[in-house]
Amino acid sequence: MRHRWTDEEREIVRRDYKGTNASAEFIAYRLSAVTGERVTKCAVKSQAQRLGINTKPDRKPWSPEQDERLAELIGKYAPQRIARMMGRSINSVIVRAKRIGCSRRVRNGWFTKKEVCEILGVDHKLVQRWIDSRQLRASWHNETRPQKSGKSYWHIEEKHLKDFLLCYPTELVGRNVDLVLILDIVAGIRTGGGERCLKLTRVKT
């Protein structure tokens, strides 16, 4: 039977996977011993790919043609998918988009829950726990409850994500965080902003 991955096991992959066969074998051996199930090296690598982990350096220069393609893709897909499509690291895609002045999002001022997962490098279940506990303020987009089918989604204002980053910095446990965008969001924070932490409340429950 296929192994069912837990959030805790994915965090082990985030923390210990180094992009090598040796690290994948070590993680597979460790999880097999703990869970009593057979976890393979290939399964570990597959999870690392799904989590967007890429530890290999990306030193290939960008051509004008690749810049044009990046400009076309950046508003449509997440950096993880673009990185796979273009054979680049996620960090390379993010930095290059910023350098050539491409907007990574057509919308301004708010994020979906999926986008917050990508920015913070964490699983969607963890973001949902932050929403449920009112650490991260969120509302229903267009007043419609979010559904698994994707017909509606969580609406997270940029200012509320900024509040979360300021109030709960120790929650950033994801290895593959979008550091460039996080710095953009929190830029200009003034002393005293933390006083708002205790007032955080979710718009809808």
Averages of pLDDT over each 10 residues, the chain, 205 residues: 81 84 88 86 86 65 90 75 81 82 66 85 88 91 67 81 90 72 70 40 37
Q: How far is CA 7 from CA 14, 95, 112, in A?
A: 10, 28, 20
pLDDT at 205: 35
Q: Length of the chain, please?
A: 205
Q: Indicate the domain borders of the chain.
A: 7-50, 56-106, 110-199
Q: What are phi and psi of 111, to 5 degrees?
A: -130, 155
- CA–CA dist 161, 111 (Å, integer): 9
pLDDT at 1: 59
Model-level pTM greater than 0.95? no
pLDDT at 103: 62
Residue 10 and residue 51 in contact, taking contact as beta carbons nearer than 8 Å = yes
- CA–CA dist 72, 69 (Å, integer): 5
Q: Which residues does residue 157 pair with via DSSP β-bridges, in sequence order?
A: 110
- CA–CA dist 191, 205 (Å, integer): 30
pLDDT at 107: 56
pLDDT at 54: 60
